[in-house]
């Protein structure tokens, strides 16, 4: 896939986005936030439907018959995404403090957040085993050190893909790694002037296979290509709003 074509579309979007009606743009951004929250939590097994997610976030209506944990997962994800946008508006580069803050927001009222695991874990269905003990701790520290290096050596789409894929490969927290990683991915995209993307729960198999390619074989391209396709669709949609 031609990432250069997508970067050119991003430049075009940023040059025309002021022409998009503000109410229209706000409604699309609000719809994205809702869809992103729904998909990201549903990928991890949350059973709230898109409509139930809307009722909870937009209308403040509690959903009967759902576990309290599922309600908190949705509410917390919405808060975490708002925190991402706040940090980006303040032009803060991604760092360890922001990652821990995001995980703490995601796990509020569910479990203690922002604390690295010291237990061994297995990822169901995956062929690789995440590092444990000091090995995990050293790798997550190396991840933060490599953020600056990778930013200079990778294009923005590959950089966002690497941030996500490497983070979930290390799996630094007991729970919430996937939701955190998808927020980090969008953090990097938005910081580079690109649009945030949402991986549909229906596409979770392709998504998991691409991440497994990276974790087991070190191949980033399948996940980068998946991310690039989503990014191009978003850019085409938003550019069309300016016409």
- The set of catalytic residues is 171
Name residue, tokens 């939701």.
Answer: 179
Do the beta carbons of residue 183 and residue 88 sit within 8 Å?
Answer: no
- Return the percent helix, strand and coil in the chain, to nearest 5: 70, 0, 30
Cα-Cα-Cα-Cα dihedral sign, residues 226, 87, 69, 169: positive
Contacts of 88 (CB under 8 A, 6+ apart): 187, 190, 191
Contacts of 204 (CB under 8 A, 6+ apart): 43
Note the residue count of the chain. 243
Q: What is the dihedral of CA 105, 24, 9, 210, to 10 degrees?
A: 40
- DSSP-derived letter for residue 93 is P
Contacts of 61 (CB under 8 A, 6+ apart): 55
């Amino acid at each position: 896939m031609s990432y250069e074509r997508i970067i050119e579309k991003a430049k075009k979007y940023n040059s025309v986005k002021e022409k998009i009606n503000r109410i229209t743009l706000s409604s699309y951004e609000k719809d994205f936030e809702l869809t992103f929250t729904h998909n990201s939590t549903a990928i991890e097994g949350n059973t709230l439907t898109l409509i139930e997610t809307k009722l909870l976030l937009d209308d403040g209506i509690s959903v009967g018959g759902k576990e309290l944990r599922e309600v908190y997962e949705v509410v917390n994800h919405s808060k975490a995404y708002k925190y991402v946008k706040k940090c980006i508006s303040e032009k803060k580069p991604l760092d360890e403090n922001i990652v821990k803050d995001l995980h703490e927001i995601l796990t509020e009222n569910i479990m203690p957040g922002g604390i690295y695991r010291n237990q061994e874990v297995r990822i169901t269905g995956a062929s690789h085993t995440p590092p444990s003990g000091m090995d995990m701790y050293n790798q997550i520290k190396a991840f933060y050190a490599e953020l600056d290096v990778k930013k200079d050596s990778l294009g923005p789409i590959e950089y966002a893909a690497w941030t996500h894929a490497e983070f979930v490969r290390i799996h630094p927290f007991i729970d919430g790694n996937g939701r955190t990683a998808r927020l980090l991915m969008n953090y990097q995209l938005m910081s580079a002037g690109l649009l945030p993307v949402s991986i549909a729960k229906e596409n979770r198999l392709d998504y998991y296979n691409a991440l497994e390619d990276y974790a087991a074989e070190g191949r980033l391209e399948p996940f980068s290509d998946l991310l690039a396709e989503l990014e191009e669709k978003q850019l085409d949609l938003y550019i069309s709003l300016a016409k």
